[in-house]
Amino acid sequence: MEGNAAPVHIVFSSLEKGADVDNKQKIIPSCGAYCYAFTSKTEPTMNRQRNSLAVAVLLVFGLSLATAQQKAKHVPTPSEFLGFEVGADRKLADYRQIASYLKAVAAASPRVEIEVLGKTTLGEEMIMAVISNEDNLRNKAKYKDIARKLADPRGMSQAQVDALVAEGKTIFLLTCNIHSTEIGSSQMAMEWAYKLATTQDEETMRRLSTSIVLLVPSLNPDGQIMVTEWYRKYVGTKYEGGPMPYLYHHYVGHDNNRDWYMLTQVETKNINRMVYHEWFPQFWLDEHQMGTNGPRIYIPPNSDPVAQLVNPLVHRGNNLMGADMGWRLEEAGKSGVIYGYSFDAYWPGGTRNTGWWKNMYGVLTEVASARIATPIEISHTELQGGVKGLITYEQQINFPNPWPGGVWRLRDIMDYELIVSDAALETVSKYRPELLRGVALMAKQAVESADAREFWRIPVSDQRDPIAATNLAALMTEHGVEVRQSADKSAFLIACAQPYGRFVDEMMGIQRYPEVHPAPGSGILEPYDVAAWSLPLMMGVKAEKVRLAAGDDLASTVMKDAPWPSGGLADKTFKYHFAGARGNNVFALVNAMQKEGGQVFAAKLGPVHAPVFVFGAHPQLEANARKLHVQLQSTAALPEGTTQLKPLRIGLYKSYIPAIDEGWTRFVLEQYGFNVKNIENKAVKAGNLNEAFDVIILPDSSREVIVEGRQGREGYSEELPPEYTGGIGKEGVRALKDFVEKGGTLITLARASEVAMGEEFNLPVRNALAGATERGRGVQTADFNIPGSLLRVYVDANHPVGYGMPQEIPAFFDGPIAFQTSAPATDVQRSVIAWYPDSARDILISGYAHGAERLERKAAVVSFTKGKGKIVMFGFRVQHRAQTEGTFQMLFNAIYW
């Protein structure tokens, strides 16, 4: 499902605050573990031979010659190829089988080619099937070029645009299975590819003559394999179809669909490159699944609210597709179709949404889930609304034919998906000229509606962390945005008047959430996910919108590769080299040099006692400093009062109810070279933690999850196999306290702070927001709701956790945690390291804040020393989704404190 607001309770594919319930991973498939099923067991011999023959043909003639003449005529059906009935109850093809099948289709059919998009996090090949008629595939370079030109029609006359529209084909991207438990579309992709490859139906052939389909069978191959493995392992047991005790992506689980503006994960990057640098599809359909107890399928239009900067033509195109999907579903007798439900037209974080600001049509479908591949029976009394667009489960105009309840199975999911995939292709084919002309028109309007002299200006060096500024410029380039460098190279300049100019404004500016009331006197429609994505604020980068004098930009040049700040040693003959403890990469250098066995010291230098890291001379120091863009000063002697740092062993707690923040924390720490290992319940309970760790981090997760291994909410929750049950227990909490007293550092992120605020630790702090209703569902009822916004926070930069930070920062806040401390007895020292303003009206910087007055004068980051150790509690999201680069340093500081 897309996210938090999805309708009903389903255990294995979460509805609530993703962090707790979403599946995720821990079993990392070893290479070879999967080299099984389809070649050795399930694939019938005949098909294997046929496949080998096709492969042999390819080897002999080379891929480029494998056109119609060489390709075998028989395209196997998915079931024939895999040796089991695809879509049958309790049967799943894993990603490797799916990829093998699509390759076999490509080998046999002149209408299908395979493109490799790159590798996944765990090293799988990420593939895409390109499907069209033979002619179009032969000329695909030309059609890519036309799509690229229509996406950026600057300098073209209307006649030239019209000529390209007349000649072009719709490039239609269909992506499946980004959320791995939403497994149906990965299976459906094989059936749909087979149909398109083999049909002689005149109408389908016509569609393929006007369109090129880009079919991505899974946006998360690693997770698809994990889910399939888990399902197969427990099929036939009481855990069949139940939740996994780990995230379904090596790092980010369900949040892989929260990554589309920050582009941190390799899978996101692979698709982003294909979309915005190679193929320029005009239309993107992303197929998901949602909960089990509501409508059977969500189709466009989206629900409110609407993003101000998205060209309305995007929604018009999306709604055409939605109308056709609804028509074709009803025609086929499929009930339970809803639109205008749950999924808004405001949030830019998911797959195709980001494209809206780049003049791309993009829609989402969500089909009700089964229990993975196990059928589920829903009584009519269990059907529920309760979500924006369907408050009670009953007939209404956006839901004219409610599903009556009954059995729901994988086959149903795939059948609904096959219909909407066909309808989507029908739409992009039927409206080909309009859609293509629309893309060019929107690009033109983006350019013409902006002030040609307005630019976002990012100074290169006048930054707290110049590397972050370059990161931002590079990120915008990766998005396909044109980034320029000023003639004197002192700034990056991003024109507002460019085809992706509205994306630029959305990402560089601040957000003000639109308060839409669905009925008189009602609360407002709640944000779907987070409400702020202001990249400069999140990354801690200074940027301002400026109006240049006419011609000022003319001397600027479009940036191809980001000009990173130069790094290195001032004088390599010296024995010591140092840099201020400011900026994230200096920590990466500290970690890299410790890994190399180099000496690293902490010191305070100069009249202001600025904290610095001092590096002993080492053969790898210069290369690492250069690679990390860190410029070091050189000195002959070690400054007074230095402390040698030892390599730190970091334990990152991992619960069996997967916490996405665990994955993000691991990702961020690994990116910066920290030595981090997961620590699970058993190891925490066993105690003696100081033997293995210097620092333990509890990622954002509720106390119930960590201590008891259960969700805080009441009611039924499905059991995991016994080895995955329970939490750290009271003895685990005592072991953490013991760890601190013996000299360890415990860092708690957001909600996990409640573990250290419990009676066991007996600290003079409580959650000032305890009891706040976190968020309502759909229509806001909560008394406090800050669902992911940037808030103003003041920092004590003299505290070791605040070193290198400005006195005022934008901090990302997404849950009701803030600290009320009090003066302790003499055996405990407490520090308030960061705090919120005195007045609520100063608190919100970007996003949405309801009830902000409850944060007035509350602490945002606090620390305690107890025994020989320390506890640091972060209330805001210091490394949220690897996006808040501007506050990473506080986490790094806390680790090295």
Q: Taking the complex as a whole, how short is the minimal distance between the CB of residue 186 and Zn ion, in angstroms? A: 12
Considering beta carbons, is residue 103 or 288 the nearer one to Zn ion? 288
Compare residues 242 and 253 and give the one whose CB is closer to Zn ion. Answer: 253
Q: Which residues bind Zn ion (CB under 5 A)?
A: 1, 179, 182, 288
Q: CB of 149 within 8 A of CB of 162?
A: no
Give the strand pairing for 283-290 and 170-176. parallel
The answer to whether 183 touches 177, Cβ cutoff 8 Å, is: yes
- Which CB sits closer to Zn ion, 256 or 846? 256
**CB closer to Zn ion out of 341 and 653:** 341
Give me the least distance between CB of 531 and Zn ion, in Å please.
Answer: 20
- List all residues 6 or more positions away from 285 whose beta carbon is below 8 Å from its beta carbon: 172, 173, 174, 175, 321, 352, 362, 363, 364, 365, 420, 421, 424
Map residue 557 onto helix, strand or coil: strand
Angle between helices 585-595 and 888-896 (to 10 degrees): 40
Within 8 A by CB and 6+ apart from 801, the residues are: 831, 833, 861, 863, 872, 890, 893, 894, 897
Pairing state between β 745-749 and 695-698: parallel
Q: Least Å distance between CB 422 and Zn ion?
A: 21
* CB of 254 vs Zn ion, minimal distance in Å: 7
- Residue 2 CB, shortest distance to Zn ion, in Å, is 5
Nearer to Zn ion (CB atom), residue 231 or residue 672:
231
**Residue 391 bridge partners (DSSP):** none
Residue 67 neighbours by CB distance under 10 Å: 14
Determine the Cα–Cα distance for residues 440 and 286; give it in Å rounded to an integer: 23
Least distance from Zn ion to the Cβ atom of residue 631, Å: 44
| Nearest residue (CB) to Zn ion, 179 versus 751 | 179
Smallest distance from Zn ion to CB 182, Å: 5
Nearer to Zn ion, 1 or 834 (CB): 1
Nearer to Zn ion, 182 or 324 (CB): 182
CB atoms within 10 A of CB 221: 29
Min dist CB 177 to Zn ion, Å, is: 9
Shortest separation between residue 537's beta carbon and Zn ion, angstroms: 28
DSSP characters over 690-734: GGT-SEEEE-S--HIIIIISS-SS-S--PPPPGGG---SHHHHHH
**List of residues 6+ apart from 537 with CB closer than 8 A:** 510, 790, 810, 845, 846, 886
Residue 298 near residue 152 (C-beta atoms within 8 A): no
**Cβ-based nearer residue to Zn ion, 23 or 624:** 23
Please enumerate in sequence order all residues whose Cβ is within 8 A of that of 591, keeping only pairs 6 or more positions apart, or say none.
672, 673, 674, 675
Q: Give every CB contact of residue 857 below 8 A, 6+ residues apart in sequence.
A: 835, 836, 837, 838
Smallest distance, Å, CB 304 to Zn ion? 20
Nearer residue to Zn ion within complex by CB, 14 or 511: 14
**In what helix (H) or strand (E) does residue 319 lie, and over which residues does it extend?**
helix 312-331
Min CB(288)–Zn ion separation in Å: 3
* Selection from 449, 385, 413 nearest residue 188 by Cα: 413
Our CB check for Zn ion shows the closer of 288 and 666 to be 288
